[in-house]
Structure 1
Amino acid sequence: MKLYSDDELAEKLDTPIFHLVGETADELGLECYVVGGYVRDIFLERPSNDIDVVVVGSGISVAQALKDKLGRKAHLSVFRNFGTAQVKFRQRVEENGTEKPTYKEIEVEFVGARKESYQRGSRKPIVEDGTLEDDQNRRDFTINALAICLNKERFGELVDPFDGIYDMEDGIIRTPLDPDITFSDDPLRMLRCVRFAAQLNFFIDDETFDALERNRDRIKIISGERIQEELNKIMMTRTPSKGLMDLHRCGLLQLILPEVSNLDIVETKNGRAHKNNFYHTLEVLDNVAHATSGADATEMALWLRWSALLHDIGKPKSKRWEQPMGWTFHNHNYLGAKMVPGIFRRLKLPMDMKMKYVQKLVDLHMRPIVIADEEVTDSAVRRLISDAGDDIDDLMTLCEADITSKNEVRKKRFLDNFRLVREKLADLKERDFRRLLQPVIDGNEIMEMFHLTPSREVGALKQALKNAVLDNVVPNEREPLIELLMKKAKEMKLV
């Protein structure tokens, strides 16, 4: 964080767009301020592309006048129902000696200063025109309530009525007004509170956190779409466990993701306790986040993190006490995979291949661990490739993250064996082995040979051929497979 004087802020905003907005507002006799995240990120020395401007008066009129100044290169969108407008245009960037000039897209959102009031059953506010003070009062957190004047006479002047600067210095998330009113009026702000704390690595003010606990039931009026938007942002932070832990401590996680919250239980029997699977899950999630961070992180990084968060959700249903083994969680991966579609549906997460990807990784996450706990055979690795397909590398990342044992000898053994699994995977990929995994005789040919319709018998014969190829019992060639097929058909009394 860096503190700036008003003169230094004027230098930070010394770009054509801010002078043009201020000049336009001056011509209309209106006050205007850049507010919110753009101002916050100046002090936090973070890049920001979201420019929000508050006008004491009509924000739409300033946007329209700015569009006229910019001419055909600008695009204006007006949302009269919300009293907002957006101006988009391309601004030329300094060439820095390059032959071809470059441009960047600029978006400026305009809104008139307003005050809001809420009805208990809705987060849609009743809006009235207001002053800058009214507008800052309605902001969610003090760090988002800062404003910098753009009018010529006061250009660069900071307006910070709630000491948001000091909260940023102290790393605190706090509401400008009574947090109970702030969260009750718009319960989505509770998730935003946790999200900002996770993104900025800040702490939530004690009074504000207590209000999260008191108002948590209000989250029930928020749609799944809005909840998952905030959850996804928390999941993509550097250390997502911080946000998940705050959600759990205040009771929000039990309401929006009870399947994860329910992992926070430890039972003891005959002096033997199982590990706390909630804290284990957070550790696995952080391990995956560390492995999928950085500029090279793909879009699928989010869904790999969701796989980590949900990988053990089947454990409460599968938990059994068995003598002499103790606590067991047999088939928790299978039960967890069955729970994934319901969670995605409830949170309005995509029900397409992204959901199927998460479901597959939850289902398969024990397979590499079983392989790594035994001798790493070609046959076992071939089966894993066949079942995981193109997601094999992500599955291995999840499984390596899942080794959180405090027994360093055991942990090293697993990770060393995982290294062997990866080496075999690389070797098989190099030889294009996946091409050979599907037997050359398919189900249609089997049905034609034995005059069958789609049935359990056809499936059994297909599986017998596939197992033989995977186990390297026979080469993936027609003659030996036909011979094996006839033998199996006789055993099944099909010929």
Structure 2
Amino acid sequence: MAISATFAALNMDIPCTDSELQKIRPVAQAARELGVPCYLVGGFVRDKLLGRPTKDADFVCVGDALALAQKAASLFRSSPKVTLFKTFGTAHFRTPDGFDLEFVGARKESYQRHSRNPVVEPGTLADDQNRRDFTINALAISLNEADFGTLVDPFGGREDLKEGLIRTPGEPAITFSDDPLRMMRAIRFATQLGFRIHPPTLRAIREQRDRIRIITQERITDELNKIIAAPKPSVGFKLLFDTKLLDLIFPQMVDLAGAEFVDGLGHKDNFYHTLQVLDNVAARTNNLWLRWAAILHDIAKPATKRFEEGHGWTFHGHEVVGGRMVPKIFNAFKLPLGDPMKYVRKLVELHLRPISLSKEDITDSAIRRLLFDAGADFDDLMTLCESDITSKNKAKVQRFLDNFELVKERCVEVEEKDRIRNWQPPITGELIMETFGIPPSRAVGDIKDAIRNAILDGVIPNEYDAAYGFMIQKAAELGLSPVK
């Protein structure tokens, strides 16, 4: 990172751009004028030490955080509007370039077992650091005149950053019992940062896992989505699985685990296969919902698993059953039930189609139907299907990938010729009703379906005149004549 100014130049050892310094200096000045001790804390300090980009900064003051935020905002040229959360004693404002500044008064917390909401009272910086979830998030930098730039690190967080370690400041069992969401945060940070979880901390997650039941679904889902959005999400899911947290928050996924053998014939472990597909998708796209489609593409295999004598294990119809499971899972996770859910369901229901085409002679009709059914999501479907090609046999994988390339080439050829993606048949239901003087009815749907299928099957070209003539023909078979 090219920087023209650093914290080191101000007795700090964390690199910081001029732009970031311009946001920090007014806060330090405001704290000095108000006479309140103030510190940079948490994620900003952690990410700067790791060389990661930052979009926000958190400040803790030993005093009135609301007054500090308002004073600091007044020192910016733009005088940004401050949002005050008086109930919680916190404040926030955003600079014109989109950088978020959060302010909170130093506090100490105590918990009751039935709730993750703490009893809060004013405290010192030490109290505030004691309540932090992990040592790497308890780092603080003084903005006070007497010791400006001093790193306050009571728990060895800087060393844990060097070691790539997630560790709680205090006794991990108490940390997780007090706020069980921290168990998922530990796994999320390990996944995002590529860190390992300190063994006693990991052991405490296993021991305290049942405490996750007091956390709201929205908070659990938010952490899960952050794991899914990580560069290699399988890391987080393996940790969730090994600690048995996944049994509590996503039992349908746990049901995928394990391989069963009969007469020497077995099937792959669909849990680890799903994680491989998820990582494959993650390597190709940041699309959260496509990653969810990877997670759910085989979710119905446990429900559809059968052993057929002389053949082996089958999962017939798992794409259809899986599609029906998607809305229920989205509803349980409080995920959006509109377009994202419909998108994931479509990909789950279609995920076998392109691969099946690679195993047979490809007809234009089959390609047209795939293009039509996938529509605008065709490219994402192909990404999912290509990611679904997994095996320990590299030669087998390469053979499937080569066949899949042929399918993609044929799809391009047919699309260029017929323009089926996002296509609507040239004859509408309104035209059918107007032509034959009939109200909305089954006959209208039957004629529309017949026209669509005739075009997709190549019986007639994708043209209005041909479709109109076919409409007259099909209507006649139903005893209908055009009105004069």
Aligned residue number for residue 346 of structure 2: 360
Corresponding residue pairs, total = 472
In the alignment, the residues of structure 2 paired with residue 346 and residue 278 of structure 1 have an alpha-carbon distance, to the nearest angstrom, of 20
| Change over 3 Å in CA distance of 1:250–1:435 after alignment to 2 | closer
Task: Report if aligned partners of 1:23, 1:151 keep a CA contact under 8 Å in 2.
Answer: no
C-alpha RMSD of matched pairs (Å): 2.4
Counterpart check, 1:316 vs 2:295: no
CA deviation vs aligned residue, 1:200-227 (integer Å, no higher than 9, x gap): 0001111111111111111122222111
| 1:23–1:409 Cα change, 3 Å | closer
Which amino acid is the alignment partner of residue 88 of structure 1? R
Choose the corresponding residue for 1:170, options 153, 163, 177. Answer: 163
Query: What aligned pairs does 1:49-88 form with structure 2 within 5 A after superposition?
Result: 49-70=55-76, 73-88=79-94
- C-alpha distance in 2 between matches for 1:431 and 1:229: 44
Query: Superposition pairs for residues 430-449 of structure 1, below 5 Å?
Result: 430-431=416-417, 433-434=419-420, 438-447=424-433
Q: Report the Cα distance in structure 2 between the residues aligned to 1:62 and 1:424, rounded to whole angstroms.
A: 64
CA distance 1:49–1:408, change in 2 (3 Å): closer
Measured in 2, the distance between the counterparts of 1:348 and 1:171 equals: 33
Tell whether 2:47 aligns with 1:41.
yes
TM-score by length of 2: 0.91
Matched, 1:463 2:467: no
Q: Corresponding residue for 1:405? A: 391
8 Å contact from structure 1 (residues 437, 469) kept in 2: no
Q: CA deviation at 1:483?
A: 5.9
Contact 2:305 2:314 (8 Å CA) reproduced: yes
Give the TM-score taking structure 1 as reference length: 0.89
Contact 1:376/1:417, CA 8 A, preserved across alignment: no
**Pairing of 1:416-427 with structure 2 (within 5 A):** 416-427=402-413
Runs of 4+ in 1 over 6 A off after TM superposition: 490-495
Quote how far apart the aligned CAs of 1:366 are. Answer: 0.5
What letter matches 2:129 in structure 1? Q
- The farther-off stretch of 144-153 and 371-380 is 371-380
Q: Where does residue 380 of structure 2 map in the other structure?
A: 394
Q: How does 1:216-227 map to 2 (within 5 A)?
A: 216-227=209-220
Alpha carbons of 1:436 and 1:108: their partners in 2 closer, same or farther (altered >3 Å)?
Answer: closer
Q: Percent identity?
A: 53
Label 1:320 to 1:154 Cα distance change in 2 as closer, same or farther (>3 A).
Answer: same
The amino acid that maps onto 2:80 is A
Q: Is 1:212 the counterpart of 2:232 in the alignment?
A: no
Aligned to 2:99, what secondary structure does the other structure show?
Answer: strand
Alpha-carbon distance, 1:11 to partner: 6.8
Q: Could you tell me whether the CA contact under 8 Å between 1:437 and 1:466 is conserved in 2?
A: no
SS in 1 for 2:226: helix
- State the shift of 1:490 in Å: 6.8
Give the 3-state SS of the residue equivalent to 2:104 in structure 1. Answer: strand
Cα distance in 2 between the residues matched to 1:223 and 1:280: 29
Structure 1 Cα separation of the partners of residues 34 and 67 of structure 2: 9
Residues 68 and 406 of structure 1, relative CA distance in 2, 3 Å threshold: closer
Query: Are the counterparts in 2 of residues 319 and 328 from structure 1 also a CA contact under 8 Å?
Result: yes
Q: Contact between 2:375 and 2:421, CA under 8 Å: does it hold in 1? A: no
CA spacing shift, 1:12–1:410, aligned 2, 3 Å: closer
CA shift, 1:446, in A, is 4.2
Task: State the 1:34 CA deviation.
Answer: 0.3
Contiguous gaps of at least 5 residues in structure 1: 91-103
For the 8 Å contact 1:23–1:152, the answer to whether it is kept is no
Gaps of 5+ in 2: 1-6
